[in-house]
Amino acid sequence: MKYRSTRDKGRQISLSEAMQEGLAPDGGLYVPVQLPVAEPGALAGLTDIREVAAPLLAPFFAGDPLENRIAEIAADAFNFPVPLTPIGIVGGPLSVLELFHGPTAAFKDFGARFLAASLVRMQRADPRPLTIVVATSGDTGGAVAAAFHRRPGFRVVLLYPAGRVAPLQERQLCCWDDNVTTFSVRGSFDDCQRLAKQMFGDAALRESLALSSANSINIGRLLPQLVSFAAASLQVQAVSGRKAGFIIPSGNLGHALACIWAREMGLPIDGIVLAHNANCTVPDYFESGQWRPRASIATISNAMDVGDPSNMERLRDLYPERSIMTSRLAALSIDDQATRNRIRVEHQRSGWVPCPHTAVAAEAWHRLPAAERGRLHWVVVATAHPAKFAEVVEPLIGRNLTPPPALAQLLERPLRRTEIAADLHALRQQLTPS
């Protein structure tokens, strides 16, 4: 299997090379030359994510130096539970896919740990440490830092928008030492994302640093997320005999794209709903046909505060015609008031406490037409533990939340961060001081 840029179909490289580069030299994002077809026989009877990973990802790793180490990488990365929990509700079968049981209590642990487990097993000719650049709107940075912390041969640079992440998320971003450096950027997530992309386009920085990315622009982040959707859909089919529909909290579209790829490969997935907050660039495009990126808006579901999602480039590469895209996907925008109300209602109704991002997806399910809700076994994707957003959630449910033990340990560490302007020159001075 070879990989090409979304902007240059001629240059083709291996998966290991694509993971190490992160972003293509032309600024495009790497995609498989052709999506493989999932072999039903290879996946028959499998529902556990660790079992599904090797046969599902084998075609993506075909011909790569890591092709015989997929099971080993998956066992290293996916060493935490991934429960699919039914929720009794009127209107159709509904389950919650809990992706927040990893070390940083967010779904980003899947991609970050898989990418780290892959990169440490690669043979690199370059003697320089690989500098992993991460623009984060909340959870990605903490997950990547945890995955690469104190691993020899790696350096991590985190960029997050000052004052625009949850307090607990900020502590999680700033609690690292050794090979992790955290920058608080005076700007939005889109400014952080722009800085990260400018780093890759800066000849001087590329000369002095061996750069890679752990954002969802890196193909190594998408593949493990694809596995979680595949395993969940196989589990739904085994239990209910139905195809699964997924409602995905969406920001930079990496997680959603992984689900879309899984469906295109032939997994038992039918409906896919992209649930956005007030940052409605994608829902607006679905409605108007005009692609109009804009500055992001701060919301209580801050990890989704993206006004110019990078993975739209991959999505448009897959579905060049908008009519095809809108026939295969739905996109909804949910505001903060509705998100708060959904958290309150779900807690009162059943005791379930969704985080603000998961609540956006839950509200989107309730807004689907009744016939559509009953047609499939729908799965709301729960992307983070609600305790990470205690300042939002606790007043709504009237009680305190207890952070998971692994997260609580991180919060005991001292804070380390450097505030900078949203300017490449300022960042370059910090990374390569004269």
Residues in CB range of 334: below 8 A, 6 or more apart: 275, 276, 277, 278, 342, 360, 363, 364, 367
Q: Distance between CA 164 and CA 160 in Å, rounded?
A: 8
Q: Global pTM?
A: 0.90
Q: Distance between CA 146 and CA 165 in Å, rounded?
A: 18
DSSP 161: E
Q: Distance between CA 408 and CA 393 in Å, rounded?
A: 17
Residue 401's SS3 state is coil
Query: How do 210-213 and 244-249 pair as beta strands?
Result: unpaired
Measured CA to CA in angstroms, residue 246 lies from 258, 282, 349 at distances of 11, 17, 22
The per-residue pLDDT for 17 is: 94
Among candidate residues 87, 48, 53, 46, the one with its CA nearest the CA of residue 382: 87
Six-digit token string for 391 = 């300042």
Angle, vertex CA 135, rays to CA 308 and CA 316, nearest 5: 35
Q: Distance between CA 277 and CA 300 in Å, rounded?
A: 9
Sign of CA dihedral 113, 117, 120, 123: negative
The per-residue pLDDT for 77 is: 94
Q: Report the run of H or E that residue 32 belongs to, with start and end.
A: strand 30-32
The per-residue pLDDT for 146 is: 92
* Per-residue confidence in pLDDT tens, the chain, 434 aa: 999 999 999 999 999 999 998 889 899 999 999 999 998 888 989 889 999 999 999 999 999 999 999 999 999 999 999 999 998 665 568 999 999 999 999 999 999 999 999 999 997 778 889 999 999 877 889 999 999 999 999 999 999 999 988 888 898 899 998 999 999 999 998 899 899 989 988 888 888 888 888 888 899 999 999 999 999 999 999 998 999 999 999 999 999 999 999 999 999 999 999 999 999 999 999 999 999 999 999 999 998 999 999 999 999 999 999 999 999 999 999 999 999 999 999 999 989 999 999 999 999 999 999 999 989 999 999 999 999 999 999 999 999 999 888 788 877 888 899 999 999 999 998 988 65
Measured CA to CA in angstroms, residue 221 lies from 6, 117, 215, 309 at distances of 17, 11, 7, 15
The per-residue pLDDT for 203 is: 83
